[in-house]
Amino acid sequence: MYTKSKYVERMSCLQNEEFYHVFEVFSKRNHKSDFQHQFSLLAPNHEMALVMAQENFMRREPVVDIWVVKRSDITKLKPEDKKALERLDNKEYRLTKGYGYLKKKWRKYEQQVLDEKEIMSWGGDQRGPNRNAAGSDSK
Amino acid sequence: MNTVDFSKLSKEEKLQQFMERIENGEKIEADDWMPDEYRNVLIKLISMHGISEIMGALPEKEWVPKAPSLRKKLGIMAKVQDEMGHGQLLLRVVEDLLEPLGKNRDDIMEDLLNGDLKFHNVFHMEAPTWADAGIIAWLVDGAAIMTQTNMLQASYGPYSRALHRICAEEVFHAQHGESIIMALAEGSEQQREMLQEAIYRWWPSLLMFFGPESAETTGSSKQDITIKYKIRTKTNEQLRQDFFTKYVPRVLALGFKLPDDTMHFDEEKGKWVYQQPDWSEFKKIIAGKGPKSQSRLQLRRMAFENSRWVREALGAKREAI
């Protein structure tokens, strides 16, 4: 029978820092989505890290792409530096927040403000024949 | 905004800021400052949780070759793999907590094998029949889901995120267990007897699973510390009561009995009344003196030995590059 110390000793010669590295795993759920951080894992190399990533984190979820990055290659903010990310509360001039009055103004001219919902819809099949027929932007 | 250099704060000031963050519902991350008590209680809790996932897969894996249908075989195989995956996630969380102490996965395994690292009492027990596989997936996992969902909002970010992944899969485990016991409950007289025996066999272990009501019962309990740091919200006893509320009516509805005639819900107190398990037995079991403690640890040693060639092959490849 194996003694405990012998087991640990034999284990340590392989399972030390040089053998395993921490990898951070990122994946894309579908072609539209951004890469998302999943979790980390221990693996001896990048190739194994990719295999382990699928086994550990993508047994069920749909996935179209995977990245593994050695944690030691990532530069992180120090905990105390994260404080600097707290934004000052004076960024409204960069946002649409101050333009709420336009809605009321346009109403006077029987028109509507071009808001986010409206503008983000323009990339679609806006110019299809049916829409054009019903729309107001006839040439 | 507080821009004082954090490293120049006194220990008391750091602790105060730390507690404020927890009170505000912020998440603590691996490289944040944390009091030793917090780090140590997390290491103890999460290494026990992670190792229990791995040791818990062992009694279940015995049933993979003997599952009664292909569908059930695939189900229990997927579950065993999930448990191992949960172990991987949780050990990673512990490793990051251990790093400043100069420790790693080797130390966790060493602690497991020399008996310093305990694993859940339920995984020291035998699983002699298919009904035991059913009870493990239905009631043992049910109890585990109770304790894990209780920590979904844990103040320690990495643990909370691991638990969200784990609990999403536990839903599958719960229904996999329900399907096993439902087939037996609606089966032959022999199958019903087998399930009844398994319920009797597992009942004391299920009561013990949540731990003692207070430190007075067994001499130690970390629940006050974990509640203080918002790692969990409910006490051991609250979780055990919740478990009764969810599962006792279901066991009875299927026409099965519990090995406790006194078990009932006291409307006035709003609590289940039940007979305490033998807590000295609990201490013995988690000290590695349960019926299967040593043989499962031996299985763990063998698994490591049998996969040695894989690690050596990978190591050789790395050197060649």
Provide the pLDDT for residue A1: 41
A79–B110 C-beta distance less than 8 A: no
pLDDT higher than 70, residue A132: no
Q: Is A50 on the interface with B (CB under 8 A)?
A: no
Provide the pLDDT for residue A127: 60
B255 close to B203: Cβ distance less than 8 angstroms: no
DSSP three-state, residue A65: strand
Single out the residue of B316, B114, B306 nearest to residue A9, CA to CA.
Answer: B114
- Looking at this protein, which amino acid is placed at residue B134? G
- Could you report the per-residue pLDDT of B136-187, keeping only the tens digit for each? 999 999 999 999 999 999 999 999 999 999 999 999 999 999 999 999 999 9
Domain that holds residue B153: 9-320
A86–B1 C-beta distance less than 8 A: yes
Tell me the CA distances in angstroms from B211 to A79, B219, B221, one per residue in order: 35, 11, 8
Determine the residue of chain A that is closest to B300 in CA distance.
A7
Helix crossing, A46-57 with B70-98: angle to 10°?
A: 120
Q: Is B7 on the interface with A (CB under 8 A)?
A: yes
Domain that holds residue A61: 4-73
Residue A102 lies in a domain: no
B2–A56 C-beta distance less than 8 A: no
- Looking at this protein, which amino acid is placed at residue B271? K
| Number of structural domains found in chain A | 1
Q: Pick the range with the lowest mean pLDDT from A86-95, B69-78, B220-229.
A: A86-95
Q: Is A42 on the interface with B (CB under 8 A)?
A: yes
B3–A79 C-beta distance less than 8 A: no
Residue B1 lies in a domain: no
- Mean pLDDT for chain B overall: 92
State the smallest CA–CA distance between residue B57 and chain A in angstroms.
Answer: 15
B92–A59 C-beta distance less than 8 A: no
Chain B environment of A27 (Cβ under 8 Å): none
Q: Tokens at residue A123, please? A: 């990339």
Q: Is A45 on the interface with B (CB under 8 A)?
A: yes
Query: Domain with A45 in it: what CATH number?
Result: 3.10.20.520
Percent of chain B beyond pLDDT 70?
Answer: 96
Provide the pLDDT for residue A135: 43
Residue A25 lies in a domain: yes
Residue B4 lies in a domain: no
Percent of chain B beyond pLDDT 90?
Answer: 81
Determine the residue of chain B that is closest to A87 in CA distance.
B1
| Number of structural domains found in chain B | 1
State the smallest CA–CA distance between residue B147 and chain A in angstroms.
Answer: 22
Q: Which residue has the tokens 């792409």?
A: A65
Chain A environment of B29 (Cβ under 8 Å): 79
**Inter-chain Cβ pairs, chain A and chain B, closer than 8 A:** 81
Residue A112 lies in a domain: no
Helix crossing, B70-98 with B157-185: angle to 10°?
A: 160
Average pLDDT of the segment spanning B80-97:
96
What is d(CA B240, CA A20) in angstroms, rounded to the nearest whole number? 40
Q: Pick the range with the lowest mean pLDDT from B59-68, B261-270, B308-317.
A: B308-317
| Burial label, B250 (beta-carbon count in 10 A; 0-12, 13-18, 19+) | middle
Q: Tokens at residue A119, please? A: 């503008």
B315–A44 C-beta distance less than 8 A: yes
Residue A23 lies in a domain: yes
- Could you report the per-residue pLDDT of A63-90, keeping only the tens digit for each? 999 999 999 999 999 888 888 887 777 7
What is d(CA B88, CA B159) in angstroms, rounded to the nearest whole number? 12
Provide the pLDDT for residue B46: 97
Chain A environment of B317 (Cβ under 8 Å): 45
Single out the residue of A38, A54, A44 nearest to residue A16, CA to CA.
Answer: A44
Residue A21 lies in a domain: yes
Query: Domain with B88 in it: what CATH number?
Result: 1.20.1260.10
Residue A115 lies in a domain: no
Residue A38 lies in a domain: yes
Q: Tokens at residue A50, please? A: 């990719």
Q: Model-level pTM greater than 0.90?
A: no
State the smallest CA–CA distance between residue B169 and chain A in angstroms.
Answer: 9
Q: Is B116 on the interface with A (CB under 8 A)?
A: no
Average pLDDT of the segment spanning B254-269:
95
What does DSSP say about strands A65-70 and B264-266: parallel, antiparallel, or unpaired?
unpaired
Q: Beta-strand (E) ranges in chain B?
A: 264-266, 271-273
Total Cβ atoms within 10 A of residue A19: 17
Cα A26 off chain centre by: 9
Q: Which residues of A104-115 are buried (b: 16+ CB within 10 A; e: fewer)?
A: eeeeeeeeeeee
State the smallest CA–CA distance between residue A85 and chain B in angstroms.
Answer: 11
State the smallest CA–CA distance between residue A21 and chain B in angstroms.
Answer: 11
When CB atoms are compared, the residue of A14, A42, A44 closest to B92 is A42
A76–B311 C-beta distance less than 8 A: no
